[in-house]
Amino acid sequence: MYILSENFFLFLEILTSQDVAMNKVVKNAEEAIQGISDGMTLMLGGFGLCGIPENSINALVKSKVKNLTCISNNAGVDDFGIGLMLQGKQVKKMISSYVGENAEFERQLLSGELEVELLPQGSLAERCRAAGAGIPAFFTPAGFGTEVAEGKESREFNGKQYIMEKAFESDYAIVKAWKGDTDGNLIFKATARNFNPLMAMAGKITIAEVEELVEPGELDPNFIHTPSIFVNRIFKGENYEKRIEQRTIR
Amino acid sequence: MLDKQGIAKRIAKELRDGYYVNLGIGIPTLVANYVPDEIDVTLQSENGLLGMGPFPTEDEIDADLINAGKQTVTTLPGSVFFDSATGFAMIRSGRVDLTVLGAMEVNERGDIANWKIPGKMVKGMGGAMDLVASAQNIIVAMQHTNRAGESKLLQNLSLPVTGLGCVKKIVTNLCVLDVTERGFELKELAPGVTVEDVKNATAGKLIVEGDIPTISV
């Protein structure tokens, strides 16, 4: 009985202490990307230029870290997003579903400086989700009978053919959210959600940059998209440009 | 002959009340302009939006709100956002009733090629492979021949395949075709187009039976 209560008070003490190790909030992008080193695999959230972690990408460009493998649906444009990392020749390999908007990307690909693995967008998303869900592989019909299926196991279920896709392995996942709290809970805005919550679950270490950083309790638990447990580092981003690729009006 | 708007108008006649529809980039996007007044369809954008509204006005533009073609769009009452895995879950599980997409080539078995031209810069398949592998009902919207005047309706694909046996219906500038076990079945002709014109522009097996009605749009 005595031991139990002692443990209980110890537990309370931990709960209420300002334990530095538990603090996920970092000052800025430079601090957030500490530990990312040459040759690592990164996941970068966003669809096109929508919902990309602008601050972290800029910090990666400044850091000059290189030989990176980047898992991201797209590769940015020449002067924005992952395109900036390509300009700095920091990327060894891109794993994407669509890379068509980037001349420097094309040049590096054709010259053999850059390797690219193209995947169906749904498979890319699901490989992130699987990684975050502790599922090593899954079967999907996308790509069966195409060059995407080469070297992959295929199997028939209920008369239909599927190929096996494996969960991604990545060292860091870097995502952009709209709102976050200092515990790491995240809320995304509109279609800037895209790959962000999937990747947030999938990184060995997940970095989240947010437009608004609030105290725990300020976000309604009913409307949180990414639970804090998946997020290791969080910071408030600055000066979001939010460039639009296809500005289309009525 | 049908122009792009005409192809879109004809495809819009395939829409049914209550359909969830995914429209690809190019001519398929135009289909949204011709949804009949008396029916209600919901547009799905696989990046993360169900219930896509029209393009925004200048004041409504939101960089965080785009469609799968990366165009700025709007929401409607009842719209919902989700992550991209959920977007493709809707497609893979067969909940999207109709998918309309473009193609570079279709063969007489309904295989489609629309993502890669060998020797040219490969941009990627985006969501096309997921869509064609899982959609219940796929209509291809395309020109009947390529810029060199060669048929895009073939016995065998010359380009890398996107998906096998998935195309059910094709609407081109010349005609409407169903893809069946027998080949390309001519169902309707565009105004001013003859059966002979379609035969000349179709390299794959073309089935013509009975009187072929003219497309009314």
Instruction: Kindly list the domain boundaries of chain B, sorted by start residue.
Output: 4-207
- Sign of the CA dihedral running B166, B172, B178, B183: negative
Q: Which residue has the higher pLDDT, A4 or A33?
A: A33
Q: Is pLDDT of A19 > 50?
A: no
Per CB-CB distance under 8 Å, the chain A contacts of B64 are: 50-51, 178, 189-192, 242
B120 in reach of chain A (CB within 8 A) = no
- Other Cβ atoms closer than 10 A to A125: 30
* Average pLDDT of the segment spanning B179-194: 98
The fold of B4-207 is Glutaconate Coenzyme A-transferase (3.40.1080)
Q: Is pLDDT of A6 > 80?
A: no
For residue B159, give the 3-state DSSP assignment. coil
The verdict on a CB contact (< 8 Å) between B73 and A248 is yes
**Chain segment A209-247, per-residue pLDDT in tens:** 999 999 999 999 999 999 999 999 999 999 999 999 999
Q: Which residue has the higher pLDDT, A102 or B191?
A: B191
Which residues 1-40 of chain A have a CB within 8 Å of chain B? none
Q: How far is the first Cα of chain A from the last one, in angstroms, to the nearest whole number? A: 72
Per CB-CB distance under 8 Å, the chain B contacts of A43 are: none
Tell me how many helices (H) and strands (E) chain A has: 7, 11
* Average pLDDT of the segment spanning A22-45: 97
Q: Is pLDDT of A21 > 60?
A: no
CB within 8 Å of A150: residues ≥ 6 apart? none
Q: Is pLDDT of A4 > 70?
A: no
Per CB-CB distance under 8 Å, the chain A contacts of B93 are: none
* Average pLDDT of the segment spanning B23-34: 94
Distance from CA of A60 to the nearest CA of B (A): 23
The whole-number pLDDT of residue A1 equals 44
B53 in reach of chain A (CB within 8 A) = no
User: In residues, how long is chain B?
Assistant: 217
Percentage of residues in chain A having pLDDT higher than 70: 91
The verdict on a CB contact (< 8 Å) between A110 and B64 is no
Per CB-CB distance under 8 Å, the chain A contacts of B133 are: 120, 140-144
Distance from CA of B49 to the nearest CA of A (A): 7
Q: How confident is the model at residue B62 (pLDDT cuts 50, 70, 90)?
A: very high
Q: Is pLDDT of A13 > 70?
A: no
Say yes or no: ipTM exceeds 0.85: yes
Q: Which of B38, B46, B188, B196 is catalytic?
A: B46
Per CB-CB distance under 8 Å, the chain A contacts of B164 are: 144-145
**Mean confidence (pLDDT) of chain A:** 93
pTM given for the model: 0.93
The whole-number pLDDT of residue A117 equals 96
Q: Is pLDDT of A158 > 80?
A: yes
Which residues 54-93 of chain A have a CB within 8 Å of chain B? 73
* Average pLDDT of the segment spanning B79-86: 98
Residue A134 backbone class (left: φ over 0; alpha: ψ -120 to 50; beta: rest):
left
Are the C-beta atoms of B6 and B217 separated by less than 8 Å? Answer: yes
Q: Is pLDDT of B8 > 70?
A: yes
Q: How confident is the model at residue B165 (pLDDT cuts 50, 70, 90)?
A: very high
**Chain segment A135-152, per-residue pLDDT in tens:** 999 999 999 999 999 999
Catalytic, B46? Answer yes
- Please give the helix or strand (H or E) that residue A91 lies within, else none: strand A91-96
The verdict on a CB contact (< 8 Å) between B65 and A191 is yes
A129 in reach of chain B (CB within 8 A) = yes
The whole-number pLDDT of residue A69 equals 98
The whole-number pLDDT of residue A102 equals 86
